[in-house]
Structure 1
Amino acid sequence: MYWLVSPPDFGKHVKIIVNRLLHQKQCGFFMLLAMFVSIALIAMLTSGLDLKGPVSNFSGLFFTILTDSAGKGFVISLAVLCFMASRLGISREKLLARGVQLFIILAIGFAGKVGLKNLTESPRPYTNLLASQLVIPQPSHFYNLDKAQKIQVIESMANKVSSWRIASWLKGMNYSFPSGHTIFAAICIALFGGLFLEYKHYWFAGGVLVWAMGVEYSRIWMGMHRPADLVGSVLFISLVYLLLPTFSNVALKLSAMLPARCQLAFKKCNSK
């Protein structure tokens, strides 16, 4: 009977589809691999980091801007990256497909971050410092406090820790694993960095990678994450990116539905 011989054929078709997806995403995976390797370098550079060490205003402002570019300022970062992508002569169908991918992977990334934090309940690195200074009995105790008590505990370290780090701690009083900022940076690396690399815009691809490394470093420098949190974030997005469809057919339908004015705007962008 046919169904007895169809499973091997089905497996063959699945393998062909997977290989095709991997081929289409190879640039994105290469960028994610580069980001993953960079974490080892950052871990070495931040080993022995003293969260009580002196911080200049320049360093504090620089790392705050970096960390905010993947946090509350993520919309600005996305706008810059989208503008760069729109000026590279990429077809509107491909841009629309990336737009659909971006929307979905951002939604999955945000939901996954919240779920994993609540599942793992990993304390922030700065809670280890709070415990070592006898402000709290142990790191996990911090999460038994209400919001006002958490703020009071953090602010009690204001005479020992830079105000730049204190401000960051006050904005991130939830759990540590995974890093939401690194999740966003990894999404940008896979979609935008991979796109720039695919179209041989190596300076743009390298710039996105350097920015992502800066975000990673800033999260450890602030005392908000450990290298393991960054690794988990990149692996999580790599898995989501692997399973994410290309949405080529959806993009074709969306492209056909665009008003004539929008289609003309795309053509002007692509001709530059």
Structure 2
Amino acid sequence: MNTHTPLFDRFKNHLIIVVAFSVLLATISLLLYPLDLLSTPHTVTGFVWSNLSATASNPGCIFTLITLMICVFYKSKFSDEFKVNALIQLLLLLVLSLGLKTAMKQMTHSPRPYTVVMAESTVIASPRDFYTFSHSDKLNKIAQMQGTVSQWRWSNWQTEMNYAFPSGHTTFVTLCLLFFSRLFLMSKRYVLCAGLLCWAVGVAYSRLWLGMHRPADLFGAVGLENVIFLLVPYQYHRLTPWLMEKSQVMKQKWT
């Protein structure tokens, strides 16, 4: 009996990607964490990690998604029906990931690591004290750290003042890794799949380096996204034909 069905291969590839990503994150966490957030990094180092992190921020994440979609679908052999199914799934993954990630942050109330540095520098009384301030007061407190920490970290702290768990950036890169790696593997584009994995690991580490997250925040994001990914279906037998029919009608009207 042949057990290598499309469903079997799909979950096998999913497991391989998840294990590889998790092992690399665990290795980085063990070897390179914790970090001294008050150290002065080389300009190139700060530039690389800050800009790598930006590829999963807003609006950088939009350009990342567009780039990945072009890499996957441009001149691909996927059928139109397959592409529509994939785009519906991607949209659902994005909406659910954003909503659940935001909800979990509000439930856990986990302070970001940089608030610990601010407390140790006596800028605030305690990490949790930071979250009692208004938005403008938070900015003023972070402004007091200018000159104490590198510009790369300090500028990032100003843009993200919400809670830490789970990591939103790691949630996004895990989504991209799980969704697009499946399509790359189906197309036997292994180099692109490996590059996607390296990018995801790099973004996740950048969050540690910038003082935005702890390893637990990263693994919480990986776990959350895996649950979402396994629950969201791959095919939409009723919606896809309807959308394809509507698109054909629109094409006829414009031609």
> Which residue, out of 237, 254, 261, partners 2:225?
237
Q: What is the aligned-residue RMSD (CA, Å)?
A: 2.0
- 8 Å CA contact 2:111–2:163 kept in 1: the answer is yes
Structure 1 residue runs without a partner (length 5+) = 1-18, 264-272
Listed as ranges, the matches of 1:1-272 within 5 Å are 23-72=9-58, 73-87=60-74, 88-249=76-237, 250-259=239-248
Distance, in Å, in 2 between the alignment partners of 1:201 and 1:24 is 15
TM-score with structure 2 length normalisation?
0.89
| 1:139-161 deviation line (CA, Å, top 9, x unaligned) | 11111111122111111111210
Change (3 A) 1:182 1:153: same
Q: Shift in Å at residue 24 of structure 1?
A: 3.6
Cα pair distance change 1:203/1:114, threshold 3 Å: same
Q: Which amino acid aligns with 1:107?
A: V
Using the aligned pairs only, state the percent identity. Answer: 35
In the alignment, is the contact (CA less than 8 A) between 1:196 and 1:204 conserved in 2?
A: yes
What TM-score does the superposition give when structure 1 sets the normalisation length?
A: 0.84
Aligned residues: 245
In the alignment, the residues of structure 2 paired with residue 110 and residue 93 of structure 1 have an alpha-carbon distance, to the nearest angstrom, of 26
Q: Distance in 2 between matches of 1:148 and 1:53?
A: 27
CA–CA distance in 1 between the matches of 2:12 and 2:84?
Answer: 19
The Cα shift of 1:47 comes to: 1.8
Deviation at 1:33, TM superposition (A): 2.6
Cα deviation, residue 226, structure 1: 0.5
CA distance in 1, matches of 2:92, 2:194: 25
Separation in 2, partners of 1:232, 1:20: 29
Q: CA deviation at 1:132?
A: 1.3
Give the letter for the 1:194 counterpart: R
User: Deviations 1:9-58 (Å, cap 9, x if unpaired)?
Assistant: xxxxxxxxxx9856544423432232222210220232231101112222
